[in-house]
Amino acid sequence: MQKQQNFENWLGLHKGDGSSEFPNESVMGSWKRSDSRNIDYERALPKELVQSELERTKKSYKRLMICSDWVINHFIANSIEDDFRVLLFSKDGVLLRIYGMPAEDDWLSKCGIKNGAKWSEESIGTNPFSLGILNKRAVELPGCLNYSRFLIDGSYYFSPICLIENEIYGGIVLAVPQEKTDTYLLSLAITLSRTIELDVFFFQCIDMFTSSDEESGSIFLRQNKERNEVVIINDQVFKILGIKKPDSYHLTLEEIILPLPDNREFWNILNAKKLVSDKVLPLSVSSGRVYVNMSTATYKQNKFHPDGITISFSSSGRANKLASKFTDNNARYTFGDIIGENELMLETIKRSQIAALSDSNILIQGESGVGKDVFAQAIHNSSKRSHKPFVAINCAAFSKELIASELFGYESGAFTGAKREGSIGKFELANHGTLFLDEIGDMPMEVQSVLLRVLEEKTFRKVGGNDLIEVDVRIIAASNKNLKELIEQKLFREDLFYRLSIIRINIPPLKNRGADVYLFAEYFLKKLCARMGKPDIRLSKNALEFLGRYSWPGNLRELQNLLEGIISTHEETLITEKEIHNYLGDYFLETLPEEKPVIATTFDIYGLDEKEKFEMALRKCRNNRTKAADFLGLSRSTFYRRMQEFGMN
């Protein structure tokens, strides 16, 4: 009886203004539930969350709040009504933000509506949020139909925010003073909530896509009023930068990457909205100095946020790939790609394989064209640094003015003609990997001094720079010159020589590698014919004999060029000694020795498989194994070992 009296008193209180509104079945059911809870409809207010709990809630709804900012602020800024207010709720009824409130004496604040309060039917009875959540649809609720008196002076239009059908993510309430009640406002509330849904869904898709790439991190920014508000930042960014993820729901980029004057180049790119792709850039962050590969792009999802920009940072894995791209070099070859059966060559390969397991610097010496770069790449690919960058530079290809900038990079404005943004050097690109210094004997003396200091201290400064940069690089140097003679001529530093040549590898010239010349000839012929679309081409007996006599001053490079040059101008499927003479010319033929032992020059050996070659050699030498080994240009130990492999004992 008492509850019925309370309900009638409440109904009279709310209908005392003579309004014609009367509750529908849904509202009436809510009234009765509210009345049964003994809610004091004259004094009841939403329960305010403590600050720590409110911060946790805001952090959970960061994306909803940012997307709602863009949509609702645009609506408020373009509305002709000063009294429109938009309330943003979490799915649990926490009032996250009020939009459009100009001052403390606003009509909404006078009613007692505040941020950080939780609206529920249990605490304040019938209200637009709880009624809309219960029914999972948009709701129009004039002030007189709310249970608690603090809502009586306004009219409220609720629309849920759903990401998946019937799964509510939050909601908005469009609030106006009671005298401005209008049914069209419900449609407006629905439009706002749907637009927010699209924005949230858009960024959730992006977040899902970018988070699937473990080698790169992405930041989506909204640039507004000289602030760079972070919409999306995935965990990979913090891993790449080596910093702890801030425990905050509202981040600006300045909290992650130090502002000016630090990181001047980064902020110049961002503030000017420059589009860059895989730009190697140093960044100063709270943990120290890091190098990243940075790309930027602008985005425009809809009219509410036209000033969006994305930043992508690549991980070290991608940086390694880019090092190859930027230097037009990569470690393609392994020891399995090196051809040779000559005993001296096999010993060189074995020593190089052992050296690869060490982290000491290596000096590779040999004539031009013997394959020093192939050995350098094979050593890198067999080392513990194989998954790190391999960066090569030919010291003879740069002037003494430019070699230092190529090795160490330079700062902006370091010299006339320098790029405005500066440049990263080969040492930085090769960090944690291998730096191959080809033709080290041509490095200028002044640069040698700097290189020596870098090897000793493992730090350097860019040209025109002041900051010390730490590096961990394994050096493989190569030279076709006699460095000892250069030292005597005061053209090469002796202390640098000993720093570089902790391990020394001497690659024998082709003229000292016996029958290997035929292996290479066969290999190059097959490779060239396949590449040039030619039928299989063979060498005649006298051509093979010539290959065995010739001294090959240009080594493997000369042999490959000779065969390519002849094939390119030859229509027959057989190359004779005449074609080789025509290609070389009289000058080179005059240098040919009159007599030179010919190893396995019989045409029959060419094109045979390995076992057939051994069988033929034994027949020719009447089963004299020592002579057969000499015939094939092999040591006796190698000859016997290969016979065992072929089951010929």
Residue 478 is part of a domain; what is its CATH number?
A: 3.40.50.300
> In 127-216, which ranges are continuous DSSP H helix?
128-135, 184-211
Greater confidence, 244 or 54? 54
Least confident of 213-217, 229-233, 438-442: 213-217
Asked if 190 and 227 sit in the same domain, the reply is no
Share of the chain above pLDDT 70, in %: 82
The verdict on 393 and 537 lying in the same domain is no
Could you tell me which residues come within 8 angstroms of residue 9 by beta carbon, excluding any fewer than 6 positions away? Answer: none
Higher per-residue pLDDT: 432 or 613: 432
Given 159, 187, 204, the domain boundary residue is 204
Which tops the pLDDT comparison, 329 or 438? Answer: 438
Biggest CA–CA distance in the chain, Å, is 131
Same domain, 134 and 257: no
Same domain, 405 and 529: no
Whether the pLDDT of residue 19 is over 60: the answer is no
Average pLDDT value for the chain: 81
Residue with the bigger pLDDT between 604 and 470: it is: 470
Confidence of residue 102 (pLDDT cuts 50, 70, 90): low
Which of 204, 226, 249 is where one domain is finished?
204
Q: Which of 195-209, 218-232, 245-259, 450-464 holds the top average pLDDT? A: 450-464
Decide if pLDDT at 120 tops 50.
yes
Which token pair is 372? 């020093």
Residue 414 — pLDDT band, cuts 50, 70, 90?
A: low
Residues 52 and 14 in one domain: yes
**428 and 336 in one domain?**
yes
Using an 8 Å Cβ cutoff, are 169 and 163 in contact? yes
Average pLDDT over residues 73-95: 85
Q: Which residue has the higher pLDDT, 211 or 82?
A: 82
Q: Cα separation of 16 and 3, whole Å?
A: 20
Say what the pLDDT of residue 187 is. Answer: 92
Task: Report the C-alpha gap between 423 and 412 in whole angstroms.
Answer: 8
Establish if 345 belongs to a structural domain. yes
Position 599 scores a pLDDT of 46
Name which residue leads in pLDDT, 234 or 40. Answer: 40
Give CA–CA dist 335/557, Å, rounded: 18
If asked whether residues 395 and 504 sit together in one domain, one would say: yes
DSSP string, 220-287: EEEEETTEEEEEEE-HHHHHHHT-PPP--SS-BGGGTS--TTTTHHHHHHHHTT---SSEEEEEEETT
Same domain, 288 and 360: no
pLDDT(26) > 80: yes
In the predicted structure, residue 490 carries a pLDDT above the cut 90: yes
Domain that holds residue 248: 213-314
Dig out the tokens for 342 from the structure.
């000559």
416-455 pLDDT per residue, tens: 665 665 677 888 888 888 999 999 999 988 889 989 999 9
| Residue whose structure tokens are 């863009």 | 70
| Nearest-angstrom CA–CA distance, 531 and 536 | 11
Provide the number of structural domains found in the chain: 4
Q: How confident is the model at residue 273 (pLDDT cuts 50, 70, 90)?
A: confident
Peptide bond just before 553 cis, omega within 30 deg: no
Give the pLDDT confidence of 573-603 residue by residue, as tens digits: 899 988 998 888 865 555 555 444 444 444 3
DSSP string over 503-547: EEEEPPPGGGSTTHHHHHHHHHHHHHHHHHTPPP-EE-HHHHHHH
The answer to whether residue 442 is domain-embedded is yes
pLDDT for the residue 263? 80
Residue 97, beta-bridge partner list: 88
